[in-house]
Structure 1
Amino acid sequence: MDSPKLETLVHLLASFAFFIVLLFIIPRESVPAYASTLEAQALLKWKSSLQNQTQSTSSLFTWAFPPQNATDSNTIVASPCGWYGISCNLAGSVIGINIPCSNIKGTLNEFPFSSLLCLTYIDLHQNELFGHIPPQVSLLTNLTLLDLSVNRLSGIIPREIGELMKLEVLHLHLNELNGSIPDELGQLCLLNELALYSNHLGGSLPSSLGNLSSLARVSISNNSFSGSIPLEMGNLTNLEEISMGGNLLKEPIPPTFGKLMKLTELHIFRNKLTGSIPVALGNLKLLRRLNLYRNNLTGSIPSILGNLTELTLLYLLDNDLSGNIPDELGNLQAMIELKLNHNQLTGPIPPSLGTLPRSLVNCKSLEVLDFSNNKIRDNFPAWLGTLPKLKVLILRANNFNGCLDLPRVAYPFPKLQILDLSDNNFTGPLPANLIVKLQGMMSILTGQEPQNKSLYMRYQTGISNYEDSVKVTMKGNEIRLQRILTIFITFDLSLNSLEGNIPDVIGHLHFLVGLNLSHNHLTGSIPPTLADLTNLEWLDLSTNKLSGMIPRELGDLTFLGYLNLSENQLTGRIPQDKQLSTFTSDSYRGNLGLYGTPLQNSSHDYTQPPPAPPSFSQKDNTKEDASWFNWKVVGMGYASGIVIGISIAYISWEIGRPKWLVRKIREMERRGAKWMKKSK
């Protein structure tokens, strides 16, 4: 090595060694030596105010000074930097408190805001904090994250939070906060996330929210905000997610939302919004979920929504939308859930959605399709049978008519689990050629993806999981299922004009949980093959023209908790063995040729038939309110049976049917059902 290079290397090594020595012999000047002690004492004072942190098992057990003889440095002894949930900078000052889900019970009244001026983040979510948020929080001027969510904090949001100019994340959701959003929050120009949902907040939304230029996600759902949505929110061009559902917001959706080009989710459901759906929403090319259900929106569905090719969820149900379903919706190839039910939509399903090859056939991901409670006049859209992932098809309460013809494919509707065509004008025989091919109702293994072991129907988009919901008729009651069990399989053709026999092949649908063929013109006898539906929980064949005797084989349906054979032309003695002996006379009334227990006759029933059951499409709100209490009482009994039965079916599928457990729980369920019936 050359001498000059060697000399240079020696100088460098000497300088480095000198620097290392300085690190040890020169005290840090950024924070006085006693600062850590003061911070520790302040934190311990707050700990002493908490209600459950004195035990050795508490999460803050490490928050304590060790004995004085444990070390020779008072500065290190007094430092809180090694305590649970505490982070410090190189100077030894506390910069972070991260103690979520730690069973901390108490208030923030003694929290040492004035002693922790270097704090950059506080995460105390999912504890048991109560009381107010102190205005002294404004002293933490270096704070970038404040998460006090999932506690029991009350009172108002202090306007002093608006002085935290470095704040990027503010999570106060799932508390008991009241009052309004302070205007001062609009000063937080670096705020990226604002979560205030599920509190008791109200009042108008401040226009100052339009100043939060860095905001990417805002969620204020499940409060009582009223008034209009500020037009200024259309200026927040960095917004990616908006959630305002479950409030009292009025007026139209701001057309300025059409400028939010980064928006991926827009949820303004369950409000009182009026006017039409802004055409400008068709510009949001990144939008994946658009949820506007249960408002007072009017007008037609904008055809420009067909440009939202990333859309996976479109909920426009429970509004007053009218006109035809736009043909352009067939362009939404990424669509998984499309719900347009409970509107005033008319006309046929658009041609692009109705004849092969058409655009909706390309929507290979579509799983849930609900057009119920509209005024759609069309034939059965048999072309939907080619959609490979369709699990839920609900066309209830429309003007569909004609026969139930099928597409010319080997296995139509390969994954279908819920088929509801009730309350339409379908005619002709029951579609045996459809029934025999419903693979999703014949076997769980063919009806589900092999790797899907989830208890509920769900799909994943990005990092979020979304569980499907739907409204179905169960045991004579219309009930909304917020989540759908993967083994919930139903077939409903009630309230039509179908005729002919019930085909024997219906016994192939082994995993059916519910079957409703009531209020048709079916004739012939009840097929004994129904006994092959071993998972059946409810069976409704009422108000038809069925004749002959009740098959004894139905008694083998050990899961059956609801049976309605009333208003037919059945004859003979009612079988009394097994499950059939558990039902009341309501299950058999109106069959003049039936006799025996539980009917009050020995040979024939000449009693007056019961009043005709109400139409499932009844829209009389007064009548609906009057029956609310009865629905609650009866529903509890029915629902318990459904939950127990389906849960057992799920256990059986997962680990093999434990017959002894099934028998025990079914016995308990039958006793409970009898008790509920007697209590009526």
Structure 2
Amino acid sequence: MLVQNLTTLRKLVLDQVDMSLVSPKSFANLSSSLTYLSVHWCSLRGIFPDTVFRLASLTTLDIGDNPNMFGILPKFNWTSPLESLSLSSTNFSGEIPNSIGNLKNLTVLALRMCKFTGHVPSSLADLKKLQILYIDGNSFKGAVDFEIFTKLDNLRELAISQELNLTNNTLKYPFPKLEMLSLQFCNLTKFPYFLNSLKRLKYLVLSFNRISGEIPMWFWGISHDTLETLDLSSNLLEGGMQLFHWKKLSYIAIEDNSFQGPLPILPLSTVVFYALDNHFIGEIPSLICQFSSLQYLSLSNNTLSGNMPSCFGNITNLRSLDLSSNKLQGPLPRSLVKCVNLSTLVLSHNEFNDIFPHWLEAKQLSYLDLQSNKFHGRINLTAFRLSFPALQFLVISNNNFTGWWPTKIFSNTSLALIDLSNNMFEGPIPLPSPVTFYFAIASNKITGKIPSLICNFTKLEFIDFSNNSLTGSLPLCLTNFSTVLSVLNLRMNYLEGTIPQSFSSRSSLTTLDLSRNRFEGTLPRSLVKCRYMEVLDFSNNQIKDTFPRWLGTLPELKVLILRSNNLKDLLNIPKGAHLFPKLHILDLSNNNFSGPLSANLLMSLGAMVMSKNEQDKSLYMTRYVGGQNTPSKIYENSVTITIKGQEIELVKILNFLTIIDLSHNSFQGHIPGVIGHLHSLIGLNLSHNHLTGSIPPTLGNLTNLEWLDLSSNKLSGAIPRKLGDLAFLEYLNLSKNQLTGRIPPDKQLSTFPNDSFSGNPSLCGPPLPKTCIGDAQSPPLLSSSTFDRRGNESWFKHKTIWLGYASGLVVGFSIAYIAFETGWPKWLMQGVSMLERRVTDWMEKPKGKAIKFHGQ
């Protein structure tokens, strides 16, 4: 209504104006005399009218960064004087029409991060004036299905094969004036040869594709006199690196590939951004200090060793330095004090041995990450406050720092993220900054009570006070003081009293871990208000209650650990109840539950009934904490569970890990046959109960099962032959029951050790030494799989599984370590581990590729 009567309006700019209540249809009423329209980042919603594309005088149209705005491009008779068209980060979809080739005056075409499908039309080559082309991040067909590029490459190959002299003019390469090109997330598998014809190119981004092999020789010569930005990161490139001879190159990003060899040093004085995270080895050469113009340097995720060159301070323009995930050691060069513009310093996951670098005096430093090194000693708190007045992100976890922090040390700072975990800090809990959203002091020697003042910090999204020596009761306000608090982890302390009953319906809690404390009383019924809850762990406390079936109404609950409390009575679940729809870890072990196992409970566990292919495809239960304008932090949920009779701490929870542990209770009666419907179940432990009857043959339907423990019950009858069909079963314990007859002579069952069947006086046959009537005495059957099984048992003697950082993550449950490097999943161990093969199959990724865990 504001502009519909402005019939002579030529230019309309409403960028960053909140227009969420304005219908895009109203743009159809704009004046035909309009030449310039920009409604960038305006929260527009709905369908954009295609009549705007046909306005007779329109030369510039920018409607980008409106992700909830939909539309399609005109397919027919589209002629327009358009010179600049930007639809980036909108929901425009369909195919890019051939009619786009009619826009002969177009110099800017930005269609990145939309929903376009089909092919990139060959008519795009008719845009001879095009200078900027961004078409990345769409859903085009195939791996290299850009018709325009494919046809040109095919012509070139034909010319070579037939020894024809076809020049660039003969082939009519497109975009003679192109200066900026972005093709990231385009499924490219090779370098498009038409790049060799672009003589004015300044900006080239080919990152996040699948380009493999070595860089071809012709590529090093493209746009020799003009190229300023080159981004080849996150591909599958390999081999060595040549010297870069581009005269004006200032931004270089080739990280997340498989380049090897010594670190290449480029004969360039104009470099501003330099990122080489691959597999380079050796020391950092001091020649790098000659990059006087360098502002951003990333050498992370390599195998660099030795000390940092003492001349690093010569790079006085340096703003960001990332040397994380290498093998660098020794003290930090004191010459860094000359880098007065430094705003980001990331040295994590190395072997630096130094005191806290308060001597930096970096007045602009906002991001400091020293985690997982050998830094030590007390921190000079006076120097700390004076040296880093702009600090927002402080991560010094996993070092050897000592001393204690005054309670109000952070009160006048701008620290949004504070991670002091895994050191030797002492004293009471220091209070965070008013702007802090991530606060972790886990695994220190912190003592005293949790102060009620913590409830004044309403921006906290993450609190981790676990594994300290905290005492006293919880402040009553702690469970409802914030609407943004997502994670509250207080496990492994000496906290006592009752759990506050005041959880709010506005709660954003996804993880609540109060395990390994001294809490008493009942479970708070107000937990049912926490609709986003995913992980609840109250294990190893003194809670007295019955089974909380009311928690089954939580729609997102995935992990429920109530082990080692004083819970009692029946698992009374109504027939047909639709409870616990996403639960995949249920641990009620070491309680006083009695009565029959509830078939109704088993049938309500929908996430365990579905097949593994229907489950969450993300690998871990990972949460990103932080907002758009603040630093982000990854939080990995962790639990302690019993696997094969051993308590194992999983510091990352695999999303496909599906477990039921009801051991060490007083359950009676038969094992319900409906348990065979839990097809995704990986671990089942019903040991140390009073179960009777036979082992249900339906257990043979649990084809994903890897461990089964039915020991120390009163089970009778024969062992079902169908247990031998469980191809992934690696651990079986049927000992101390009343089983009878011959152990089925199945290759799978016969490979388990004697202990799996001992304590059943009427059981006979291999691998037991007792022979069955009519059998000749024969030695126990041994096989290679028996050897492998025994050889891998030692892994479970470890109390903790460290799913590590950078180049390796320990995932396994039966053997070994599955390591991850930059790229797609690459299994470093080749063995008989069935879980290893299952993980590969579950992820549906080819071997030899990779997964990148950013920040880890």
Give the structure-2-normalised TM-score: 0.59
How many equivalent pairs are there?
545
Contact 1:518 1:544 in 2 (8 A): yes
Matched with 2:493 is 319
Matched with 2:533 is 366
Give the residue type in structure 2 aligned to 1:458. T
Q: Deviation per CA, 1:10-36: give whole Å up to 9, x if none.
A: xxxxxxxxxxxxxxxxxxxxxxxxxxx
Is structure 2 residue 475 aligned with structure 1 residue 293?
no
Matched with 1:505 is 674
Structure 2 CA distance for partners of 1:539 and 1:112, relative to 1, 3 Å: closer
Q: How does 1:124-523 map to 2 (within 5 A)?
A: 124-185=299-360, 187-207=361-381, 208-211=383-386, 212-231=388-407, 233-255=409-431, 257=432, 260-306=433-479, 307-330=481-504, 333-350=507-524, 354=525, 359-406=526-573, 410-444=577-611, 448=615, 452-461=616-625, 462=627, 466-523=635-692
Contact 2:567 2:593 in 1 (8 A): yes
Q: Deviation per CA, 1:199-221: give whole Å up to 9, x if none.
A: 11000122022232211101111
Post-superposition offset of 1:316: 1.0
Structure 2 CA distance for partners of 1:279 and 1:509, relative to 1, 3 Å: same
Contact 1:311 1:332 in 2 (8 A): no
The SS at the match of 2:349 is coil
Q: Please give the alpha-carbon distance, in whole angstroms, between the structure 2 residues aligned to 1:402 and 1:602.
A: 42
Q: Please give the alpha-carbon distance, in whole angstroms, between the structure 2 residues aligned to 1:414 and 1:335.
A: 18
Unaligned runs of 5+ in 2: 1-237, 254-267, 774-792, 802-809, 819-832, 848-856
Post-superposition offset of 1:304: 2.0
Give the residue type in structure 1 aligned to 2:498. N
Q: Please give the alpha-carbon distance, in whole angstroms, between the structure 1 residues aligned to 2:713 and 2:281.
A: 62
Q: Please give the alpha-carbon distance, in whole angstroms, between the structure 2 residues aligned to 1:157 and 1:138.
A: 11
Matched with 2:797 is 631
Give the residue type in structure 2 aligned to 1:202. H
Q: Please give the alpha-carbon distance, in whole angstroms, between the structure 2 residues aligned to 1:539 and 1:130.
A: 46
Q: Deviation per CA, 1:221-272: give whole Å up to 9, x if none.
A: 11111111255631443111111112111111124x2xx1211101111212
Q: Please give the alpha-carbon distance, in whole angstroms, between the structure 1 residues aligned to 2:683 and 2:571.
A: 20
Matched with 2:131 is none
Q: How does 1:595-610 map to 2 (within 5 A)?
A: 595-603=764-772
Post-superposition offset of 1:319: 1.4
Q: Please give the alpha-carbon distance, in whole angstroms, between the structure 2 residues aligned to 1:598 and 1:475.
A: 19
Contact 2:275 2:298 in 1 (8 A): yes
Q: Deviation per CA, 1:50-80: give whole Å up to 9, x if none.
A: xxxxxx975461269xxxxxxxxxxxxxxx6
Matched with 2:260 is none
The range that moved more, 122-131 or 647-656, is 647-656
Give the residue type in structure 2 aligned to 1:581. S
The range that moved more, 431-440 or 647-656, is 647-656
Matched with 2:746 is 577
Matched with 1:611 is none
Greater fraction helix = 1
Q: Aligned Cα RMSD in Å? A: 3.3
Q: Deviation per CA, 1:437-463: give whole Å up to 9, x if none.
A: 211111137963xxx422333344556
Contact 1:487 1:646 in 2 (8 A): no
Post-superposition offset of 1:137: 3.9
Is structure 2 residue 243 aligned with structure 1 residue 61?
yes
Q: Please give the alpha-carbon distance, in whole angstroms, between the structure 1 residues aligned to 2:337 and 2:733.
A: 63
The range that moved more, 417-426 or 166-175, is 166-175
Q: Please give the alpha-carbon distance, in whole angstroms, between the structure 2 residues aligned to 1:98 and 1:652.
A: 37
Q: Please give the alpha-carbon distance, in whole angstroms, between the structure 2 residues aligned to 1:392 and 1:232.
A: 36
Q: Please give the alpha-carbon distance, in whole angstroms, between the structure 1 residues aligned to 2:274 and 2:722.
A: 63
Q: Please give the alpha-carbon distance, in whole angstroms, between the structure 2 residues aligned to 1:391 and 1:594.
A: 39
Give the residue type in structure 1 aligned to 2:759. G
Post-superposition offset of 1:586: 1.1
Contact 1:63 1:83 in 2 (8 A): no
Q: Deviation per CA, 1:392-433: give whole Å up to 9, x if none.
A: 111111111111123687311011111110000111111111
Give the structure-1-normalised TM-score: 0.73
Contact 1:538 1:560 in 2 (8 A): yes
Q: Please give the alpha-carbon distance, in whole angstroms, between the structure 2 residues aligned to 1:361 and 1:417.
A: 18
Post-superposition offset of 1:119: 4.8
Q: Deviation per CA, 1:593-624: give whole Å up to 9, x if none.
A: 222332222359xxxxxxxxxxxxxxxxxxxx
Contact 1:382 1:407 in 2 (8 A): no
Q: Deviation per CA, 1:563-613: give whole Å up to 9, x if none.
A: 111111222222223432222321221122222332222359xxxxxxxxx
The SS at the match of 2:579 is coil
Q: Please give the alpha-carbon distance, in whole angstroms, between the structure 1 residues aligned to 2:478 and 2:330.
A: 42
Give the residue type in structure 1 aligned to 2:769. Q
Post-superposition offset of 1:106: 5.0
Give the residue type in structure 2 aligned to 1:227. G
Give the residue type in structure 1 aligned to 2:501. D
The SS at the match of 1:294 is coil
Post-superposition offset of 1:645: 3.0
The range that moved more, 532-541 or 218-227, is 532-541
Give the residue type in structure 2 aligned to 1:200. K
Post-superposition offset of 1:104: 5.3
Q: Deviation per CA, 1:264-321: give whole Å up to 9, x if none.
A: 1011112121112232221121111111211122222222222022111111111121
Matched with 2:26 is none
Contact 2:249 2:270 in 1 (8 A): no
Matched with 1:588 is 757
Matched with 2:826 is none
Q: Please give the alpha-carbon distance, in whole angstroms, between the structure 1 residues aligned to 2:243 and 2:279.
A: 12
Q: Please give the alpha-carbon distance, in whole angstroms, between the structure 2 residues aligned to 1:628 and 1:652.
A: 25
Q: Please give the alpha-carbon distance, in whole angstroms, between the structure 1 residues aligned to 2:569 and 2:739.
A: 28
The range that moved more, 401-410 or 583-592, is 401-410
Matched with 1:645 is 834
Q: Please give the alpha-carbon distance, in whole angstroms, between the structure 2 residues aligned to 1:565 and 1:102.
A: 49
Matched with 1:48 is none
Q: Please give the alpha-carbon distance, in whole angstroms, between the structure 2 residues aligned to 1:339 and 1:296.
A: 16
Q: Please give the alpha-carbon distance, in whole angstroms, between the structure 2 residues aligned to 1:437 and 1:204.
A: 54
The SS at the match of 1:419 is strand
Post-superposition offset of 1:642: 11
Give the residue type in structure 2 aligned to 1:152. K
Greater fraction strand = 2
The range that moved more, 467-476 or 147-156, is 147-156
Contact 1:62 1:84 in 2 (8 A): no
Post-superposition offset of 1:123: 3.6
Structure 2 CA distance for partners of 1:404 and 1:642, relative to 1, 3 Å: farther
Matched with 2:146 is none
Structure 2 CA distance for partners of 1:175 and 1:392, relative to 1, 3 Å: same
The SS at the match of 1:297 is strand
Structure 2 CA distance for partners of 1:601 and 1:121, relative to 1, 3 Å: closer
Give the residue type in structure 1 aligned to 2:409. M
Contact 1:199 1:223 in 2 (8 A): yes
Contact 1:415 1:446 in 2 (8 A): no
Identity of aligned residues (%): 44
Give the residue type in structure 1 aligned to 2:244. T
Contact 1:213 1:236 in 2 (8 A): no
